[in-house]
Amino acid sequence: MIKKLLFVITILLASQSNLHAQDVLSRIVGSSPFQDSLWVVDTTTMSITHRIMPTPSSGGSITGMNGIAKNPNTGLIYIINKQSGVSGRTLGTINVQTGLVTIIGNLGDNFASITFRGDSLFGVTGDGATVPETVYLINTTNASKTLYRTLGNGADGEVISYNSTDDMIYHWSGNSTIVYEKFSPVNAGDPVVGIPIIGTTNGETFGSVYIGNNNFLNSNIGSSFNHWNANGTVSAPSGYMPDDLRGLAFVTCTRQISGTNHFCVGGSTTLSVGTAISYQWYKNGVALSGESTSSYVVSSPGVYNCMIRDVCGMDSVSTGMVVQQNPLPSVSLSGSTTLCTGTPVTLTGTSGGTSQWYLNGALISGETSNTISVSAPGVYNMTKTNMNGCTDSSAVGLTVVEYALPVVTLDASSTTACMNDEAIVLTESPVGGTFIGSTGNQFDPSAATPGSNLVIYNYTDGNGCSSSDTVDIQVYSVTTATLDPVANMCVNETAVNLNGLPAGGTYLPSSVVDPSTLGSGVFDFSYIITDVNGCLDTAEVQVLINELPVVSVNSPSTDLCYYDSPVELSGSPMGGTFNGIGVVGSDFDPAAATIGDNVVDYIYTDGTTGCTDIASVTISVDSCLSVNESAIANISFYPNPASTEVKVDFGSESINAELVLFDMTGKRIYSSVLNDVSTSSVDVSRLENGSYWFVIATVDGQIRQKIVVLH
């Protein structure tokens, strides 16, 4: 009877992927020694649920099977086969779902029963064997056998079964008289231990399987089952089989749905069940038409189950699998699609999850960030995998187009300059860019720093691609030239030398300012320095050479007698000074002058220019002596030079006269009136060393004598 399909909808975590819904059934399979049949028995009802007709992988058809045993570690079921056209018995493994027997090899004798202890396969030969009632260890890879021990007790039917509880192998033999005993699977030399039988055996034992707790389930010659205890107790027979079962083994039918319990929009997931005889898939309790294989491709969400028919019967997995549909990630791209040669651009995709970039549909290795720096043209796209494992890309990729950089040139009228040079003209191509390090296309050396000066010209074309060119201009500092200023000069001054620093420069037009050759006016002089870099600096001065003032001097009379009154002098321009012997202020006193020509100078200095000129007039002073002038002709002065006093001797006559002493500038420093004297003396001890004039004047005339005072 097929039970109803029960679908239990379970909320599954989206992060789980390879899930399964599973039922595990346990059945006993028994082999028939007389026909090609394996019988599957429901252990709860002890009734037949399925018949298997085995097919060998090689050799003749199978006509009967003597023993069967399951490896507890691998789950493989090993079976002893009778094959047509093959002498002895063969060993193989059987897939109970398909009935395929994979032949391992010929056992070389008639074995009656097999059992596993771990991975070790023990086999016992029957009474009809060449070497009867003997236990061997059988190699499961090639069916070769190794003698373990002999038994020798009992008659027909040799059955062995391993008890994992006490680690002993139990042995049944005989029909009317049953032998029940056990032996060690570890120590072959240990004696066989007989076990007294308690209860009714129901004849010869055909097969046995250990069911735990020192209990065995045995099939017998009466086509029924008994429970045997390790202590010898035998239960009453139960169940009825259509055949005598020679050998028993537990088989497990695992009914499970495996696969990923979710898929992404537009995708699918495959569910599968294990090997069985027939299948029918269901969605939400409704059979899916035509879906009768072991797998089903799911492309819509829901609860899925499968009705399975296998050796254990026909049923569905008790709990179906809930399959969810997960949304795709939303992917958008941004970034510049203009690629200028040599300048990468950055493209950005939606963040979150995991990313993978592609160029022209090909995966770009290592580019798993949501940003990418690209330097090649093409169509770029990015896939995004979200936390549900769903992957999608942008509907439209970014087409990056590469443009060549503009060809930019920058030239300079000169690449070297002195800091005081004119601006250097820069020539750029194409025009319309920007300069760095200059003022437009003019490079001003005076605004630069000495040394290397890099000028950069950047240009961006209509595609947004930029390029630049540079020019390196070497700027040299300039040695500063200085030229000392020259004060205003007059045309009558002596020449002066110009003083320029540092030494070694060139003076233009000359290094000498010579008023005598230049005359009056404003004159420019330059001093030029040229350094090792060829840089020039010039210092300049202007020299003003002034004309002399126009000076004149007049005297009311230029011929005077010694005894005449002083005359007033006049000079032009006014404000000058008069100088000469006989000059007193602005007057000329003949009495203070010398007999003869007296030069009177009028000295005038222009208050604006500072230039001075002299006008001179010669005034002649005569002694104007009368006829008695011989009376004073014999006057003598001594000593000359004098240090203390000078004596005046008038000879043999006494006279009346005035004696006056002048210095050489015409200044009167002593005078005395002489009345009727023939001699006189003048104290000169306090006078400074020098020359002096003695003048003696009478009514008849005057006489002058130069005296030297020497202390």
Annotate 601-612 with DSSP letters as a single string. Answer: EEEEE-TTT--E
Q: Where in the chain do CATH 2.60.40.3080 domains reside?
A: 627-709
pLDDT of residue 106: 96
Structure tokens at 613: 């000129």
For the segment 60-82, the average pLDDT, to the nearest whole number, is 93
Q: Is the per-residue pLDDT at 32 higher than 90?
A: no
Alpha-carbon gap, residue 520 to 525, rounded angstroms:
15
Torsion of CA 562, 563, 565, 569, to 10 degrees: 0
Query: Residue type at 459?
Result: Y
Residue 146 has pLDDT above 60, yes or no: yes
Tell me the mean pLDDT in the region 267-280: 91
Q: How far is CA 646 from the centre of its chain?
A: 114
pLDDT at 555: 87
pLDDT score, position 312: 83
For residues 114 and 78, the answer to whether their CB atoms sit within 8 Å is yes
Quote the tokens at residue 535. Answer: 């840089």
| 623 pLDDT tier (thresholds 50, 70, 90) | low
Lowest mean pLDDT among 249-258, 337-346, 491-500: 249-258
Q: Is the pLDDT of residue 626 over 60?
A: no
Does 7 have pLDDT greater than 60?
no
**Contact between 236 and 222 (Cβ < 8 Å):** no
- Is the model more confident about 282 or about 630? 282
- Euclidean distance between CA atoms 398 and 371, whole angstroms: 13
Taken in order 647, 651, 655, 659, is the CA torsion positive or negative? negative
Contact 504, 530 (CB under 8 A): no
State the virtual CA torsion across 121, 122, 124, 125 in degrees, nearest 10: 50
Tell me the pLDDT band of 513, cut-offs 50, 70 and 90: very high
Fold adopted by 552-622: Immunoglobulin-like (2.60.40)
Whether pLDDT at 9 is above 50: no
Task: Please state which of the ranges 41-45, 181-185, 370-374 shows the lowest mean pLDDT.
Answer: 41-45
The answer for 318, left when phi > 0, alpha when psi is -120 to 50, beta otherwise, is alpha
CATH topology of domain 409-476: Immunoglobulin-like (2.60.40)
CATH 2.120.10.80 intervals, the chain: 25-252
Find all residues with CB under 8 Å of 570, minimum gap 6, and list them.
553, 554, 555, 586
Contacts of 451 (CB under 8 A, 6+ apart): 474, 475
Band of pLDDT at residue 598, cut at 50, 70 and 90: very high
| Alpha carbon 337 to its chain's center | 24
Mean per-residue pLDDT of the chain:
89
Q: Which two tokens stand for residue 255?
A: 């009914």
For residue 51, give the H/E element and its range.
strand 47-52
Q: How confident is the model at residue 628 (pLDDT cuts 50, 70, 90)?
A: very low
CATH architecture of 25-252: 6 Propeller (2.120)
CA distance 473 to 263: 69
Cα–Cα distance list, 679 to 2, 651, 694, 707 (Å): 193, 8, 14, 17
407 pLDDT higher than 80: yes
| Among 3-7, 13-17, 308-312, 523-527, the least confident range | 3-7
Query: Is the pLDDT assigned to residue 56 strictly greater than 70?
Result: yes
Edge-first strand order for the sheet with 158-163 is 158-163, 168-173, 179-183, 193-194
Whether residue 121 contacts residue 114, with contact meaning beta carbons closer than 8 Å, is answered with yes
Q: What is the mean pLDDT of residues 266-284?
A: 92
- Whether the per-residue pLDDT at 402 is higher than 70: the answer is yes
Query: Which of the pair, 698 or 93, is modelled with greater confidence?
Result: 93
Task: Answer for the pair 697, 660: CB distance below 8 angstroms, yes or no.
Answer: yes
pTM of the shown model: 0.51
Q: For the chain, what is the radius of gyration of the CA atoms?
A: 75
Residue 42, classed as helix, strand or coil, is strand
Right CATH for 261-326 from 2.20.28.160, 3.40.1080.10, 3.30.420.310, 2.60.40.10: 2.60.40.10
Q: The dihedral of CA 200, 202, 203, 204: what is its sign?
A: negative
Q: How confident is the model at residue 116 (pLDDT cuts 50, 70, 90)?
A: very high
Question: Pick the residue with more confidence: 97 or 172?
Answer: 172
Confidence class of residue 22 from pLDDT cuts 50, 70 and 90?
low
Closest to 620 (Cα-Cα) out of 646, 636, 599, 639: 599
Q: What is the pLDDT of residue 4?
A: 30
Question: And the tokens for 707?
Answer: 């005296």
pLDDT band at residue 591 under the 50/70/90 scheme: confident
Q: Look-up: residue for tokens 């930029």?
A: 466
Taking the C-alpha atoms of residue 532 and residue 475, their distance in angstroms, rounded to an integer, is: 13
pLDDT value at position 45?
83
pLDDT at 13: 31
Task: Dump pLDDT digits (tens) for 322-340.
Answer: 999 999 999 999 999 999 9
Torsion 513-515-516-520 (CA) sign: positive
Which region among 244-248, 569-573, 610-614 has the lowest average model confidence (pLDDT)? 244-248
In which residue ranges of the chain is CATH 2.60.40.10 found?
Answer: 261-326, 333-403
What pLDDT is stored for residue 14 in this prediction? 33
CATH class of 333-403: mainly beta
Would you identify the CATH topology of the domain 482-546? Immunoglobulin-like (2.60.40)
d(CA 395, CA 390) in angstroms, rounded, equals 15
**Is there a contact between 296 and 304 (Cβ–Cβ < 8 Å)?**
yes
Average pLDDT over residues 189-214: 92
Please determine, for residue 632, whether its predicted confidence score (pLDDT) is greater than 60: no
Element (H, E) at 517: helix 515-518
Q: Place 210 in a pLDDT band, splitting at 50, 70 and 90.
A: very high
Q: Residue 574 in contact with residue 548, Cβ under 8 Å?
A: no
CATH topology of domain 627-709: Immunoglobulin-like (2.60.40)
How confident is the model at residue 261, as a pLDDT? 92
